[in-house]
Chains A and B, each alone.
Chain A
Amino acid sequence: MTPDQLFQLFIAGLTIGSIYALIALGFVVIHNVTGVINLAQGEFAMLGALIAITLTSETPLFNRAFTVSWNLPLVVGIVLATLLVMGVGALVYLIVIRAARTDSVIIQIIITIGIAIALRGIALIIWGTDPYRLPEFSEGPPIHIGGAVLTRQDLWVIGSALALFILLYLFFQRTFIGASLRACSVNRTAARLMGINVPHMMLLAFVLSAGIGALAGIVIAPKTFMGYDTGTYLGLKGFVAAIVIGGLSDERGAIIGGLLLGILEILAAGLISSGYKDAIAFLVLVVVLLVQTTGILRRGTRREAAGV
């Protein structure tokens, strides 16, 4: 393996890693603010991608009962799809999570798995089993950096992930609402005593995470086929990324975890065997969890100690 090929794999890993990082971020935002592990996070990505595809290109729906061809401009489609998925996130919180007042991790996990199954089923009814693809965001020849070839979509994925990270950082650090969200993740009771409307913040966390998830699904949709069941694996990988480094409660840990996971996965597929590509994520997960039971950065320790 030449250094150029290695670099090529690294770029590919960075691209898919950005997606994992975004989904992982969604897990962390919801978990920090609400204490819930939302295993339907990958479904937000799937919905975002499929809705964007439907809005921008001709798509047969409901078992080919009718075909829509709105052919909206890509930007409009992306914005609308993201907003719609944010609405789904709000509904998930308002209808289910708010009603389920339980501290049991098992019950919480089953509830969000139920949500994931229902969303997947709805997608199956609307879009069927066919996978779809978005066109690349911008046309043009691939870009050569050193010996590696970068497609324009790779740049879009990495670039939009980076932009989202920066925007979210500014939102959490520089705005009042962002600070309120952070207060909720430090201590919900204290936040309430300080006059923060905690249920509103929880709703906002779900809306925000749904939006992040949807965007992740949309930017990766030109690179990979999206179908009703694509969200499951994306969600699982995002979960692993969120948990391995940051123990599910550290945003930076989630981003680093996602990028590392993507790179590791692609390197393993390129160097060892592509058949076991998906096993790498979980092998890493199991090993890391066994060495450090609360993630490498260990921010989860306090929450765990309080929660169990």
Chain B
Amino acid sequence: MERTTVSASHDTASATTLAPARQIKLLARHPNLIAFAILVGVLALLPLILKNNYQISVLNFIGLNTILTVGLALLMGYAGQVSLGQAVFYGLGGYGAGILAQRAGIPPFAAIVGAAVITGLIALLLGIPLLRLRGHFLAVATLGLNVIFLLIATNETDLTGGPNGLSMPTDLSLGNFVFDTDFEFYILIWLVTLAILALSLNIVNSRIGRAFRAIHSSEIAAETLGVNTARLKLQVLVLSAVYASVAGSLYAYWIGIVSPSDFSISFSIELVVMVAIGGLASVWGAIFGAAVVTLLIELLRNFLPQLLRGASGEQQIVAFGILLVLIMVLMPEGLTTGTWKYIRKWRDQKKVSNSK
């Protein structure tokens, strides 16, 4: 943490004079490119191996959860703000697109963009007062927002369809092409996910990203160095809300219906868990966390009833809770960063013993 503060302040203070630093930065960007290429390759190959729709739909969920966790990772890891209400923005995307398409009769992709804009504006308005709060105060306030959102979605039956949910008026279509299979949504969802990953990696490696990290290490230090912390935090909240909204709209069009239970507090918590397991300050960690948690929940749901006679899939939550506690106690940095740290420590120790 300390190292990032130093380099962040250093870069912002004298970025123009340091040519070698820029070269190192270019090199440092290569692992991202390589990882990105590997991810695209895996995504292209996976549908060849997986033939059944269930497996494709799990991949779709991983994609949607990745979009959500990348935004949340920027918010939590880089800007240091806990949100236990990210499902609100996800829900605004889902309901927003549905209501816009239904009431205004605009084409699906316009509805998705419209919902994202509206969600971004709502995040902006909520964020101005909310981001004055810190730590657990912010956590509980965002949790409160989630409760209020769910109650509105349940009670305003005319607008949202109430507990039964809101059916999307049309299929998702672009020109004459209609997205109506899981596989078509697989391609769409992951194209969007890749675009959002690329955008986020660029943000993290930019001046703004360094400012985020500076805020995370020490808000006061960042402010004394001329970082407008309040504005940056607001920007990252709006960005994460827009991501979540896009994911929500895609989800709504893919499933065809949204209901309040899709945007529950436990889903918000699951998202925080994904970010935590991936490592708070890591874009790659976010996709890893999304994949691990989504697969884990699916596996537990499918295999627990076979292992324990009479156990229903719902009882996965015990194992989920215990695993969560274990990971957070043993590796508070998350699985990826935690493992890297152990490897680095081991390498350093070897280096020290060699030089002796």
Contact = CB atoms under 8 A, between A and B. Distances in A.
Contacts of B148: 279, 282-283, 286
A121 B318 contact: yes
B329 interface: yes
Which residue of B132, B137, B272, B311 has the most chain A CB atoms within 10 A of its CB atom?
Answer: B137
Interface stretch (B10-18, B96-104, B139-147): B139-147
Nearest to A242: B140
- Among B310, B322, B332, residue most surrounded by chain A Cβ atoms (within 10 Å): B332
A62 B309 CA distance: 11
Contacts of B145: 282, 286
Interface string B134-158: 1111011101110110011011000
Contacts of B141: 285-286, 289
Interface in A263-308: 273, 275-276, 278-279, 281-283, 285-286, 289-290, 293-294, 304, 307-308
A308 B135 contact: yes
Given A113-B324, A117-B320, A118-B321, A276 B329 contact: no
A275 B325 CA distance: 35
B140 A278 contact: no
Contacts of B265: 232
Interface string A223-243: 000000000100010011001
Interface of B is mostly: helix
B151 A276 contact: yes
A83 to B, nearest CB: 23
Interface stretch (A68-76, A100-108, A191-199): A100-108
A276 B321 contact: no
B321 A116 contact: yes
Contact of B276 (A105, A107, A129, A240): A107
Identify the interface centre among A62, A125, A276: most chain B CB within 10 Å of its CB: A125
Given A105-B82, A114-B325, A117-B321, A282 B144 contact: yes
B269 interface: yes
A125 B151 contact: no
A238 to B, nearest CB: 11
A189 interface: no
A96 interface: yes
A120 B154 contact: no
Q: How large is the interface on B (under 10, 10 to 19, 20 to 34, 35 or more residues)?
A: 35 or more
Contacts of B155: 273, 275-276
A279 to B, nearest CB: 5
A182 B91 CA distance: 44
Nearest to B280: A106
A293 B332 contact: no
B207 to A, nearest CB: 25
Nearest to B276: A110
A248 B137 CA distance: 9
Given A118-B318, A121-B315, A243 B137 contact: yes
B325 A96 contact: yes
Contact of B329 (A99, A119, A304): A99
A100 B132 contact: no
A239 B140 contact: yes
A102 B328 CA distance: 10
30 contacts: A37-B136, A62-B310, A100-B328, A105-B135, A106-B82, A109-B82, A109-B139, A110-B276, A111-B324, A114-B321, A115-B325, A117-B324, A118-B322, A121-B315, A121-B320, A122-B318, A125-B318, A129-B314, A243-B136, A273-B155, A275-B154, A278-B147, A282-B145, A286-B130, A289-B133, A289-B137, A293-B132, A293-B133, A304-B135, A307-B135
Interface of A: 37, 62-63, 65, 96, 99-100, 102, 104-107, 109-111, 113-122, 124-125, 129, 232, 236, 239-240, 243, 248, 273, 275-276, 278-279, 281-283, 285-286, 289-290, 293-294, 304, 307-308
Interface of B: 76, 82, 84, 129-130, 132-137, 139-141, 143-145, 147-148, 151-152, 154-155, 219, 265, 269, 272-273, 276, 280, 310-312, 314-322, 324-325, 328-329, 332
